[in-house]
Every structure is written in structure tokens, then in C-alpha cells.
Amino acid sequence: MIRVASFVDLEEAERAGSMLMAHSITADLRGRLARGGPIDLLVDEQHENRALELLGLPEALPEVPRPFRPCPACGAGDPLWVGKWKAILLGGGLAVLITGAIFRWPAFGLATAIVFAAFGISLFVIPEFECRQCHRRWSRGPR
Ligand SMILES: [Zn+2]
């Protein structure tokens, strides 16, 4: 399908869609991934020119690229990176291991096990990204 128009107002988008339907053009609204975001009007490739003519538009809109790391809740792209604690934990863990190796701790094996367990848990538990729009936080790891 081809994106022929984009609307901010849902009613306006629906009106345009049903107008095309009335001319037996299959139209589809794809919409609003982000709150307040645009609603796209799509038609089949074969109906592109006729649809543009009916809508009084010069040409179809360019394809929108998929947002970078879209939010799982609202689809907004480009989230904030909040993985600072994960990085600090990783750095701290490495420091513990290096210190343990240098001073030949008797419990070095145990320390290593704890550090790796903490890495494993933090990978899933500590969120890495925060949505700029709805402030949902998520981790890159499997949910
Ligand atoms: Zn969001």
C-alpha cells in the first residue's frame, strides 16, 4: 500500500478514507503510533493516481522510516538512554574482580560468581531506555 496523505485529525482522515471508499478505492488508515502523531491514509498501488486526484494532492508522500528503538508502549522512537546503573554495576564488578586478582583473595572464586550473577540479573532487570513521550522504561533484553 502507498501512503497518499497524512492527517493530524482523525475525523478528517476518516472522511478522506470514506470518500475514497465511495469511489471504490480500498483505503486504509494506519495510525497514530505516538500520541498526537499523524494518521496515514493508505491505498493500493493501482489506485494511487486516482486517489491523489480525488484528494487533490500532487503526489504520494515518501515512506517514513521505522523509528529507532521504538517504545513498546506507544511506538515513539529515539528513547533516552537510562542504562547508567547497568554501566556502573559493570564497572564496579570489574573493579572487584581486578582487585581480587591482584590481592589474591581467598574467596576470589566466590566473588567472581557473585559478580557474574549480578551481571546476569541486571541485564534483565535494570531498564536501559526511557520513552521521551510516555516515560515507559524497558530493557533491551527479552521481556
Ligand atoms: Zn512511549
- Beta carbons of 82 and 130 less than 8 angstroms apart: yes
Ligand 1 centre to CA of 142 (Å) is 18
Burial 47-71 (b: 16+ CB within 10 A, else e): bbeebbebeeeeebeeeeeeeebbb
Ligand 1 centre to CA of 105 (Å) is 46
Ligand 1 centre to CA of 116 (Å) is 31
Domain spans, the chain:
2-55, 84-126
Ligand 1 centre to CA of 9 (Å) is 20
Ligand 1 centre to CA of 10 (Å) is 20
Question: What architecture is the 2-55 domain classified under in CATH?
Answer: 2-Layer Sandwich (3.30)
Give pLDDT tens digits for 75-132.
Answer: 777 888 888 877 888 888 889 889 988 888 888 888 888 888 888 887 777 888 899 8
CA pair distance 21, 37, nearest whole angstrom: 24
- Structure pTM? 0.44
Ligand 1 centre to CA of 120 (Å) is 26
* All cell numbers assigned to 39: 494518521
Ligand 1 centre to CA of 133 (Å) is 5
What is the end-to-end Cα distance of the chain in Å, rounded? Answer: 32
Ligand 1 centre to CA of 4 (Å) is 26
User: Is pLDDT above 60 for 141?
Assistant: no
Give pLDDT tens digits for 34-75.
Answer: 566 678 889 998 999 999 999 998 887 776 666 778 888 887
* All cell numbers assigned to 36: 498526537
